[in-house]
Amino acid sequence: MKRTIAAALITASLIVVSPLAAQRDFSEVEITSEELAPGVAVLFGAGGNMAVSHGEDGTVLIDDQFAPLSEKIETAVAYLGASPVKYVVNTHWHGDHTGGNEHFGSTGATIFAHDNVRVRMSNEQTRGERVIPPSPRAALPVVTYDRGVTLHLNGDTIDVVFVGGGHTDGDSIVRWREKNIVHMGDLYFKIPGWPFVDVESGGDIEDMLFSLDAAINMMDAETKVIPGHGPISDKSELVAFRNTVGEAVTRIRALRDSGSTLEEAQALRPLDSFERGEGFISEDRFIEAVWKSLN
Ligand SMILES: [Zn+2]
């Protein structure tokens, strides 16, 4: 079931949103939802995919995109029949997953995230040339964890687990045990291009592969998989993604071991045959991130 919140708004042709987008116009963005199970829905808008768990014990929002979308997100949550957001879980610190924190934190939600999410949001971060200032106090996670935390709500058992990171050093996977749904955060993109290993945020390609394997081990053929970006997926697609990334890393590692420089390896276009297309993360950028991880 797919509901359109405001049909009059332009259908945002997706939305390979750059998490780097700083000055964007969000006025045309619509938030759409797709129910995955009774009481669990995914919300799509601009930025990382969100999930909502709702029922008699309160509403949990997984990730909250960009600050200018907070009211639209509230409207979408209400449209599901859910009460106002009581808990927020951040899958990691990036601004297209935590931009609504200040709003939801200020309106009474308790924010959960990995320890390193709070550390990074509390301190200035750099990405290339760009400097990301510390977040305001209201945006910071209030409950943090190292390995994970389990929420017992709405008849569900929701495991929020750190399985090794890789996109950053604070990635959480969210798993609804009984409903067999997993939100992967940005460990998994179902969009063209390559994965984002944010080395400056403690990301590491080998950690990412380890985390993907750990997540796959939690799944079966019926599991509904929410990628950080892109449409709903499943275990078989995630396995194919993991195998592609693993093979790509093998090729890059072989070039590195043969004595190539990074620039020489990039010039050889070793990943072209995978036909991942042009996306947020180019082949060159992915090779560079893998290179740095392996160093
Ligand atoms: Zn991210």
Which residues sit opposite 32 in a β-bridge?
A: 4, 44
Name the CATH superfamily, with its identifier, for domain 2-235. Answer: Ribonuclease Z/Hydroxyacylglutathione hydrolase-like (3.60.15.10)
Residues 73 and 65: beta-carbon distance below 8 Å: yes
What is the phi/psi pair of residue 180, to 5°? Answer: 60, 55
Distance of CA 256 to the CA centre of its chain: 29
* Per-residue pLDDT, 295: 85
Q: Which two tokens stand for residue 179?
A: 């409903």
- Between CA 118 and CA 39 the distance in angstroms is 28
* Per-residue pLDDT, 198: 97
CA of 269 to the centre of ligand 1 (A): 25
The stretches in the chain having pLDDT less than 70 are 1-23
CA of 200 to the centre of ligand 1 (A): 12
CA of 48 to the centre of ligand 1 (A): 7
* Per-residue pLDDT, 123: 97
Name the burial class of residue 142, with classes exposed (0-12), middle (13-18) and buried (19+) by CB atoms within 10 angstroms of its CB.
middle
* Per-residue pLDDT, 265: 98
The overall pTM is greater than 0.85:
yes
108-144, pLDDT tens digit by residue?
A: 999 999 999 999 999 999 988 999 999 999 999 999 9
CA of 92 to the centre of ligand 1 (A): 7
* H or E, element range at 116: helix 115-122
CA of 44 to the centre of ligand 1 (A): 15
CA of 146 to the centre of ligand 1 (A): 19
Distances (CA, A) of 89 to 47, 165, 253: 15, 16, 35
* Per-residue pLDDT, 286: 98
CA of 96 to the centre of ligand 1 (A): 7
CA of 239 to the centre of ligand 1 (A): 20
CA of 94 to the centre of ligand 1 (A): 5
CA of 258 to the centre of ligand 1 (A): 32
* H or E, element range at 255: helix 235-257
* Per-residue pLDDT, 219: 98
CA of 68 to the centre of ligand 1 (A): 18
CA of 59 to the centre of ligand 1 (A): 23
* Per-residue pLDDT, 9: 37
Q: Which two tokens stand for residue 168?
A: 């950053």
235-266, pLDDT tens digit by residue?
A: 999 999 999 999 999 999 999 999 999 999 99
